Structure 1
Amino acid sequence: MRGVPVPAVPAPASLPRRWALLCGTLVLVTSCGWGAGGGDEGSGGLPGAPTGVTAEAGSATTVHVMWNAVDGAEAYEVYRGGTLEKEVPASDRMVDVTRLHPSTAYAFTVRARADGGLGPRSREVRASTPAAVADDSAPTRPGDVHGRVAGSRAVQLTWSAATDDRGVVSYDVHQGGTKVHSVGGGQTAAVVTGLRPGTRYAFTVRARDAADNVSAAGAVVRLTTPGADDGRATAPTGLRASSRHADGGYHIDLTWVPPRTDGEVTEYQIQLDGRPATSLVYGGDAPRERAEYSFYAGREAGVTHRVRVRARLSDGTWGGFSAEREVTTGEGG
């Protein structure tokens, strides 16, 4: 995936060559219009390619596919190889692909549809179904289920592992009577986003084994999202900023910890001195533990800048801003 960065201020002539090296993993775009599409707009008015696509086996015959929301999408199409498997409305960002073969590797892509046209395919993701087993016993129900609100649009659920004579392959999270999320059998936590402020929700968790036996639901968790959101629950944390001199000018190096969500965070907005400076979109696997970014800040030493970062969440909305940091060119580099 290729892109051309647009720095916040004019860069020296030697800079484009350095950016070309970065763009093997990132797509960097100008922030002139932060409204809808960010850096992920398609051409010709079509929606962009879905980001944050993941695929994980739910049983020996099913794979759970998830993706981030795309601005302007009216529906999504999920493909297995070149075969269209499912079409879902824009309100959905997940689907279970069923009737698969055990012990088989599959590749999936997702496309967004709008105004009768299809946007580009997402990057391909792969998942392998486990071996089929003769098993008539469902797993035990997940125990010790707890939850907490994480701002006005998300909740975090945790539970203790279920047991099964052949092993738990996945856990299904239900909102009321609707399945809204799935995680692998080795996980005992999930973050559900895309919720509404000031709304009461009821969640349950069920365990699933390779034979598609599903456990009874764990205890119901009832949570009410607050009517207002200070953004802290969805903001990047641990932001650090430093200055260095290279290529005849000063650069600002940033690192931060991505927010915890129910999908990959693939897009960030970098704000410089109170104004959007750059959009950062990951074209490959997005970092989950720590993200890094560097940009040109001019030739003059002793200039102090204020920097902060926010993430586009998997439901297509912007999360809260990180804490703001000050950095002065020529200090620390």
Structure 2
Amino acid sequence: MRRVTGPVHRRGRVTGRVVAACGALAFLAGCAQGAADDGDGGLPGAPTGVTAAAGSATSVHVMWNAVSARPGVRAYEVYRGGTKVRDVPASEHMVDVTRLAPATTYVFTVRARDTDGRLGPRSREVRATTPAAAAADRSAPTRPLGPHGRAVGSRAVQLSWSPSTDDHRVASYDIYQGATKIHSVGGNQTAAVVTGLRPGTSYSFTVRARDAADNLSPASAPVRLTTAPGSDDGRGTAPTSFHAATHRTDGAYYLDLDWIAPRTDGVVTEYQIQLDGQPATSLVWGGDAPRGKATYSFYLGREAGERHRVRLRARLPDGTWGGFTPERTVTTGRP
């Protein structure tokens, strides 16, 4: 594990050093500027949470987390190797790269361009291998059955369905909102989480299965869901199993946190920790962010008997903040 040190701003003063207990973690001090927002009008940052998965023998679905930048992001550029293959509007953060060769490994990166036309650095490279094409495959997968779902607060829904069958295999599932394809997941996945929705709004979702030859199944029965009205606390998008404790090392006390990443189809790479009612720090994973349990530890001070309240939240792949965890209370020098 890599150790990262730096200042933590708490109650307007520097309290000490920070120790990262999770590998490949970059540290942002202060009150949680966006992962890609340097706060001074510089270039947009490199997109995080980039993934790539084959959708068929000739296509790959590329996803990334929305980037925050000043004055704003105009578009994203998607590269296959060193060649730009797609421009994507700032309101979207996924795309299908098509016209690929079967049974071939490709490397993808993403860059953000701001509204002033400045291009940020490339994301880390991700790889995907297209499956082999099936000879003369004109048979589409069966229709996904039993689709159902539930609203998760005011901004997200969870969908699931029974697997389709195919004479070869299902390569991916496409999720539609009305007539518009909004997402894609691998053929071994029969659930999806859709975020970035509007409060108090009715939506209709369907699912279609796709095989390696790009044959599409009929659409599933529609799943009609309505998000909760107003601005809720987002608890459905909060990290779960959140624990807090302290330990003493070399005469100093440290706050130890662990949690389970919120369930999303993208990768959560940024968290904000709130200490005693104030933002204490933002954590940004520069490499592979944990999809399950995550841990973090930072310096509190040398005084025993100090009581602290702590909670955290995640920045979702659509660029919005999810809900906070329940608040935990710890006291230095006590178990």
TM-score normalized with structure 2 length:
0.92
Q: Tell me the C-alpha RMSD between the 2 structures.
A: 1.9
Cα 1:209/1:2, change in 2 over 3 Å: farther
Q: How many percent identity over aligned positions?
A: 68
The offset of 1:315, in angstroms, is 1.0
The offset of 1:5, in angstroms, is 2.7
For residues 314 and 211 of structure 1, the distance between their equivalents in structure 2, rounded to whole angstroms, comes to 29
The offset of 1:31, in angstroms, is 2.0
Q: Is the 8 A contact 1:307 1:324 kept in 2?
A: yes
Q: Which residue of 2 aligns with 1:145?
A: 147
SS at match of 2:259: strand
Cα 1:236/1:22, change in 2 over 3 Å: closer
Cα 1:22/1:257, change in 2 over 3 Å: closer
Unaligned runs of 5+ in 1: none
Q: Which residue of 2 aligns with 1:57?
A: 54
Q: Which residue of 1 aligns with 2:170?
A: 168
SS at match of 1:28: strand
The offset of 1:235, in angstroms, is 0.8
- Greater shift in the superposed pair: 227-236 or 298-307: 227-236
Q: Is the 8 A contact 2:21 2:295 kept in 1?
A: no
The offset of 1:49, in angstroms, is 1.1
More strand by share: 2
The offset of 1:4, in angstroms, is 5.2
For residues 96 and 180 of structure 2, the distance between their equivalents in structure 1, rounded to whole angstroms, comes to 13
Q: Is the 8 A contact 2:37 2:44 kept in 1?
A: yes
For residues 100 and 3 of structure 2, the distance between their equivalents in structure 1, rounded to whole angstroms, comes to 34
SS at match of 1:238: strand
2:96 is aligned with what amino acid?
D
Q: Is the 8 A contact 1:162 1:168 kept in 2?
A: yes
Q: Which residue of 2 aligns with 1:313?
A: 316
Unaligned runs of 5+ in 2: none
Matched, 1:25 2:31: no
The offset of 1:325, in angstroms, is 0.3
Matched, 1:67 2:70: no
The offset of 1:262, in angstroms, is 2.4
Q: Is the 8 A contact 2:21 2:296 kept in 1?
A: no
1:27 is aligned with what amino acid?
A
Cα shift readout 1:5-63 (whole Å, capped 9, x = no counterpart): 32246566xx57xx4x768610111124x3xx424325752211111111000000000
For residues 105 and 40 of structure 1, the distance between their equivalents in structure 2, rounded to whole angstroms, comes to 29
Q: Which residue of 2 aligns with 1:84?
A: 84
Matched, 1:41 2:37: yes
The offset of 1:230, in angstroms, is 2.4
Q: Is the 8 A contact 2:22 2:296 kept in 1?
A: no
SS at match of 2:236: helix
For residues 23 and 64 of structure 1, the distance between their equivalents in structure 2, rounded to whole angstroms, comes to 28
